[in-house]
Amino acid sequence: MADKSFLDWPFFEDRHRALAAQVEGWAAEYAEAISSASDEDAACQALVASMADAGLLKHAVVAPHGGAGDSLDVRSLCLIRETLARHHGLADFAFAMQGLGSGPICLFGSDEQKARFLPGVAAGTSIAAFALTEPDAGSDAAAIGLTAELSGGEYVLNGEKTWISNGGIADQYVVFARTGEAPGTRGLSAIVVPASTPGLEVVERLHVIAPHPLGRLRFENCRVPAENLLSASGTGFKIAMATLDVFRSTVGAAALGFARRALDEALDHTQQRMIGNAALADLQLPQAKLADMATTVDASALLVYRSAWAKDKGAARVTREAAMAKMYATEGAQQVIDDAVQLHGGLGVMKGVKVEELYRDIRALRIYEGATDIQKLVIARQTLSARAAGTA
Ligand code: COS
C-alpha cells in the first residue's frame, strides 16, 4: 500500500484529496488490465476512452471546452500522473499525452481554437500529440528546420518530426515550425495540424524499451488553414517552453509514481525474503537502501508539488522549479528503481516482475521533455539571472 501521507501537505486542497482517491479507484480497476494488451496502440486508445468515461481527461484541458477549470491545475495533473504511473506506465503515458498534446492550445489558443480542438481531447474522441523534436533539433529546440510558409491563407508545411509520442495514433498534432520572422528562437510558430491533413504521413514507427506509440512524421506540402496558428507567428519557441514549464513538473510526478511503486515492491520483498533466520528487511545493508529510497521519494514529492503549487498559485514562470522537479525526481527514481531491482536479486531482472518493468519505464523520463543535462542548464541560468536581478 503506497504512502499517501503526502496528501496532508499544505500544497493540497480537499478537491485534490478527492481526486487522488478517484484516480486510485480507476487505476486499481483498469490501468493494469487495459495496459497489458499486447497491441500498445489499441491499449492506448482504450485507456484514453476509459479515462474519458471516468472524467479524468477533463483535467487535461480547460473549461468551458470540456475541462475541469478555467486554467490547467498542475497539482491535479501531477496527482493523476503519479497515481497512474504507480499502477502502469502506459496509463500514465496515455493521460500525459492528452495534456501535453493539447497544452499549447489550452495555454495559448483563442476561444475559437479551444472550442474546435479541446472538447474531443476531454471526451477521448481525439488523441493529441506535441511535435517539437526533429532529427537535427532535440535539446537545441531553436534549431527546428521544418518550415511553414504562408500562402493564400494557408500554412504550407515541409520537413520532418521524430520521436513524436502518439505518432501513428494521434488525431491532432501541435507542430512547431519555422515561419522565419527572425533567426533562431524568434522565428518559430506553433500550428495545429489534424492528422488527416493531406501531406502529413507517419513514415516510421519507433520501438523503445517501454513500448508506447511513437513515430517519425513527414510533412510534404501539407496545407493547414492560417487560423490554426496559435497566438502570434514568431512566438512558437516561447509557447513550447511555457508548455514545458507546466508539463515538466508532471514528468517529475510520473517518475515519483514509478519510484513509489518500486519502494513498495522493495518493502514487500525485503520483508518476505529470508536470508538464514532473518528477513532482508531486518539486515542493515538492505535497510540503508530502503532509507535512501524513502528519502528520495519524499524529496522528489516536495520538489514536484512545490513547483505545481507555485504555478497554480499564479507564478508567471516556474521554469526553475519545474526543471528542478523534473531533474531530481527522474534521476532519483532511476536510483530508487535500481535499488529495488538490486534488493530483488535475480528476480529483479525477470520479465513479468514489476521492478523489471519499472526499470525500463523510468529510463526515457531522464531524456524526454528536456534531458537532465538541459535541466541543469536551465536551473543554472535561472539561478544566475535571479542573482543578477537581485531577486536571489
Ligand atoms: N518561458 C517563456 N519564455 C522562455 C522560456 C520559458 N520557460 N524559456 C526561454 N524563453 C524565452 C527566453 O526568455 C528568450 O526570449 P527573448 O528572445 O525574448 O530573450 C527566448 O525564449 C530564447 O531563450 P534562450 O536564449 O534561453 O534559448 P536557447 O536557445 O538558449 O534554449 C534551452 C534554451 C536549451 C533551455 C531550450 O532549447 C530547451 O529547453 N531545450 C530542450 C527542449 C526539449 O525539452 N526538448 C524535448 C522536446 S519534448 S519531448
| CB 370 less than 6 A from any atom of ligand 1 | yes
Omega before residue 211 within 30° of 0, cis: no
pLDDT at site 318: 97
- The closest-lying atom of ligand 1 relative to the alpha carbon of residue 165 is 49
pLDDT at site 392: 73
Residue 343's contacts (CB-CB under 8 Å, 6 or more residues apart) are 266, 269, 270, 280, 286, 289, 290
- The closest-lying atom of ligand 1 relative to the alpha carbon of residue 238 is 3
18-26 — which CB contacts under 8 Å span 24+ positions?
Answer: 19/59, 19/76, 19/79, 19/80, 20/79, 20/83, 22/54, 22/55, 22/56, 23/56, 23/79, 23/80, 23/83, 23/84, 24/83, 26/50, 26/51, 26/54, 26/56
What spacing in Å lies between the alpha carbon of 241 and ligand 1's midpoint? 5
Per-residue pLDDT of the chain (392 residues; tens, 9 = 90+): 789 999 999 999 999 999 999 999 999 999 999 998 889 999 999 999 999 999 999 999 999 999 999 999 999 999 999 999 999 999 999 999 999 999 999 999 999 999 999 999 999 999 999 999 999 999 999 999 999 999 999 999 999 999 999 999 999 999 999 999 999 999 999 999 999 999 999 999 999 999 999 999 999 999 999 999 999 999 999 999 999 999 999 999 999 999 999 999 999 999 999 999 999 999 999 999 999 999 999 999 999 999 999 999 999 999 999 999 999 999 999 999 999 999 999 999 999 999 999 999 999 999 999 999 999 999 999 999 999 998 77
pLDDT at site 390: 86
Residue 297's contacts (CB-CB under 8 Å, 6 or more residues apart) are 3, 256, 259, 260, 263, 332, 336
What spacing in Å lies between the alpha carbon of 250 and ligand 1's midpoint? 18
**For the chain, where are the E strands, in sequence order?**
128-131, 147-151, 154-165, 172-178, 188-194, 200-205, 214-225, 229-230, 274-275, 278-279
Whether this model's pTM surpasses 0.85: yes
In the residue annotation, 369 being an active-site residue is answered as yes
What spacing in Å lies between the alpha carbon of 128 and ligand 1's midpoint? 23
What spacing in Å lies between the alpha carbon of 237 and ligand 1's midpoint? 7
Best substitution site from 140, 165, 178, 185 to test ligand 1's pocket, by max atoms within 8 Å of Cβ? 185
| CB 155 less than 6 A from any atom of ligand 1 | no
pLDDT at site 2: 86
| CB 367 less than 6 A from any atom of ligand 1 | no
Torsion sign across C-alpha atoms 131, 136, 139, 143 = negative
